[in-house]
Structure 1
């Protein structure tokens, strides 16, 4: 079921950065022995109503990396986010590193390239990224080995990155009391999501899971770290042996009640371009608002 065997003897140092405006957690994942690191799921700030972009969230990450004397080797996107803008090119400009995402980004680019009427000048081949990961691929962060699992369902391009004893699941899973991510975006699929979650939960119980979003259900404090064992036991959508048919029924019913994310329109336009803000014919940063597109 797994295309690799995780090495739990490798311990990744993980530093989280929570962005309250989008409920997103960015991670700096470091090899303690070499100082090499990766930045996972970075955030670029936007005041949508004012039409202004800023970099406060990314600057916190940059300051931490510099303060600790770390060396960025990778900037990872677990998927094309629909709820926040990526700061990947901004961080790359300041700290270096290669930008990676799942290879099925090309499907996402094709779908949303049409929705936003991007024309032939928008490349739909993933060439905006430095590395397109396939299921079972691996890469290194200093002396740490990172393994990549294709975990579609929320989007076609979702990937889980297993780095030593830690796994970064993007939006595939939330904390146990948060359940799972929606599966109703174009290319999403509740059945595929269930099977992806089962792959994640086939990792050893002790693997630490790091979540991309948390909303503090029922008023609890924000949290972002759990374990495979805890998710398998207590996740409200898949724990305690929830079967596929029951999950699909639950997920699809819940998705019908959800509104679109507040930042979906700017996020998709930016993130399918690897974090680059689109420009009009005169070179000015410009976003589109397609009507009745979803």
Structure 2
């Protein structure tokens, strides 16, 4: 049992939305005792080659909330995603909901503010978000109490959000046969990721874990829900008592073989701004592509 608060008697209703273009699962998390809900890791659609951003996936989430007469209180970003664009400001314009992320977003903003040569006008203090969460911070969704666990390793700002008997783990863990996420982004660390995974696995065994990405390894159907007990026993990267040294060696060697996510350039520029697309001096949406010097 971990030292964080938990209340397994509260069982939030969880509705998943799978985006096949990015293999992302977004969630609407509903308080069973009120009309309050939160959205976790929303997705905005992008045709990168055409330079076209659309809202099909986000509109499905909005429609679900409206049809079920829910009140959106929070939009949770588990981290600054490198493989999809957040729909948080689009959904906020339609339905409200404060946008929250881990306080180490400032580290990510400082790092990639330099990569994209954003200049002094780009604020690196996390002020684009409505709330910056620290390890152990709590918040409420209707009558439910939720808390945030700082789980760095994949990125410095990663947070796992525990809401009743459900934990939304972002990219800290995948399904048992999927293992774990890469740890080679700037500010990432395989050793920190292992320690963060152990924090998650110290939650009660029956805690439901909801995954942010799934790729259907070995041809199985897409899945997104597991438990702490299943991960401890069967996760191919950390389960069954695998040591930190084994994990770090495996993760480091594997990450060296991986290509960058295909949407990393637009995703980072947008997501470090809480989902807002950057604009040029004339107010036109524009994305930068850093290139090497010849």
Tell me how far apart the structure 2 counterparts of residues 291 and 81 of structure 1 sit (CA, whole Å).
21
Mapped contact 1:3–1:136 kept (Cα < 8 A):
no
1:264 Cα deviation after fit? 0.1
Mapped contact 1:108–1:157 kept (Cα < 8 A):
yes
Cross-structure match for 2:168: 168
1:203–1:292 Cα change, 3 Å: farther
TM-score normalised over the length of structure 2:
0.99
Tell me how far apart the structure 1 counterparts of residues 292 and 72 of structure 2 sit (CA, whole Å).
41
1:122–1:3 Cα change, 3 Å: farther
Alignment of 1:43-82 (within 5 A): 43-82=43-82
Q: 1:145-204 CA distances to partner (integer Å, 9 max, x unpaired)?
A: 101100000000000000000000000000000000000000000000000000000001
Alignment of 1:1-294 (within 5 A): 2-292=2-292
1:33 Cα deviation after fit? 1.0
Number of equivalenced pairs: 293
Tell me how far apart the structure 2 counterparts of residues 118 and 267 of structure 1 sit (CA, whole Å).
15
Residue 74 of structure 1 aligns to a residue whose secondary structure is: strand
Tell me how far apart the structure 1 counterparts of residues 291 and 177 of structure 2 sit (CA, whole Å).
35
Residue 84 of structure 1 aligns to a residue whose secondary structure is: coil
Tell me how far apart the structure 2 counterparts of residues 148 and 31 of structure 1 sit (CA, whole Å).
17
In structure 1, stretches of 5+ residues that fail to align are: none
Residue 25 of structure 1 aligns to a residue whose secondary structure is: strand
Supply the RMSD in Å over aligned alpha carbons.
0.9
Tell me how far apart the structure 1 counterparts of residues 176 and 33 of structure 2 sit (CA, whole Å).
32
Mapped contact 1:167–1:209 kept (Cα < 8 A):
yes
Tell me how far apart the structure 1 counterparts of residues 177 and 233 of structure 2 sit (CA, whole Å).
11
Mapped contact 1:15–1:27 kept (Cα < 8 A):
yes
1:3 Cα deviation after fit? 4.4
Tell me how far apart the structure 2 counterparts of residues 160 and 15 of structure 1 sit (CA, whole Å).
18
In structure 2, stretches of 5+ residues that fail to align are: none
Tell me how far apart the structure 1 counterparts of residues 35 and 194 of structure 2 sit (CA, whole Å).
36
Mapped contact 1:154–1:184 kept (Cα < 8 A):
yes
1:292 Cα deviation after fit? 3.6
Tell me how far apart the structure 1 counterparts of residues 5 and 116 of structure 2 sit (CA, whole Å).
41
Tell me how far apart the structure 2 counterparts of residues 243 and 110 of structure 1 sit (CA, whole Å).
33
